[in-house]
Structures are given as structure tokens and as C-alpha cells.
Amino acid sequence: MVEMINVKKYKNGLKAGIRYIHGVWGNAGNYAFYEDAIRNASENDKGLPQFYLLLHDDDIIGCAALIINDFISRHDLYPWVACLYVDEAYRGNQFGSLLLDHAVQCAGNAGFHKVYLTTDLDGYYEKYGWTRMEDGIDLFSGKPSRIYYKEL
């Protein structure tokens, strides 16, 4: 059985959740950034940012977030689904879709009518009803990055 929770409600502790998310998305130089962002995130589904864990028998197998900006030039667009990841051993079970749906639902609960994401993937998000709109500029690479949206 899988369960989706706010990282702050993880029974093995917030630090373990932060380590997981940072381990997937961070690097040696930015642990403090992830720790601070996640510690100061919302615990309820009406505030932003939010970080989620996907659990299988209390073990973390994936994560996602709903944030204000995902390191892309389009600061006029928000909120963003970010940090989507499912452990390789659990892929192919639609768990990515569960994480996406959860973030979209939380965006709706917070009063938003549209949600965005940025990615270098092509073809994945379209399967789940996301629409490509245009490119923004990625902060780190300085290169264009695809932007998708979903109407709520």
C-alpha cells in the first residue's frame, strides 16, 4: 500500500524526509537550501510551499512539491509542481501520476485555477493531461526549459 503525506508528518522525522528530497534533487553545496526551504514549508494543503513524500510500508519511495517558483524565469506564473521523483524500483506503477494529482489537488485547495511545471522531458506529462505552453529560461543552465500547465 502507498500513502502520500506532507514531509512534516513523516513519522521517521523531518530530517529523514529532507535527506531524501535533497538526495534526489540536491548536490553537495545546497543541503542548507533544501533544509531551510522544507523546514519553512506549509504543513497544510492551503499554504505554499508544500513538500510531499510517497510512502510504501512507511519507506519513502518518491517525492514532489508545490512551490512558488522552480528556478525558471517565469516568475509571473505560479504555483509550480516540482521535485517529482519515484524510485526506479517503483516506476511503472503510476506513482508519478499519484504525486502529480496530489499536488494539483492541493493547488486547487489553495485556491489556484492553474498549476505549472518545467521539465526537459518530452512526452511524459502530456499523458497526464498537461499542456505545453512555451519555454522559460532555466536559472542554472541559462537554456530554455519546457513549461507545462494544467487547468484545475
Quick one: pLDDT at residue 46? 86
For 89-107, how does the pLDDT look when each residue is reduced to its tens digit (9 = 90+)? 999 999 999 999 999 999 9
- In this prediction the pTM is 0.96
Verify cis geometry, omega within 30 degrees of 0, for the bond prior to 144. no
Residues contacting residue 15 through CB under 8 Å, at least 6 positions apart: none
Asked if 11 contacts 60 with a C-beta cutoff of 8 angstroms, the reply is no
Average pLDDT rounded to a whole number, residues 75-102:
97
Residue 77 reports pLDDT greater than 90 = yes
What are the pLDDT digits (tens) for 26-46?
999 999 999 999 999 999 888
Give the mean pLDDT of the chain: 96
Output the pLDDT for position 133: 97
Task: Using the Cα atoms of residue 30, residue 33, residue 39 and residue 45 in order, give the sign of their dihedral.
Answer: negative
Distance (Å, rounded) from C-alpha 131 to C-alpha 134? 10
Q: What is the mean pLDDT of residues 127-137?
A: 97
At residue 138, the 3 state secondary structure works out as: strand
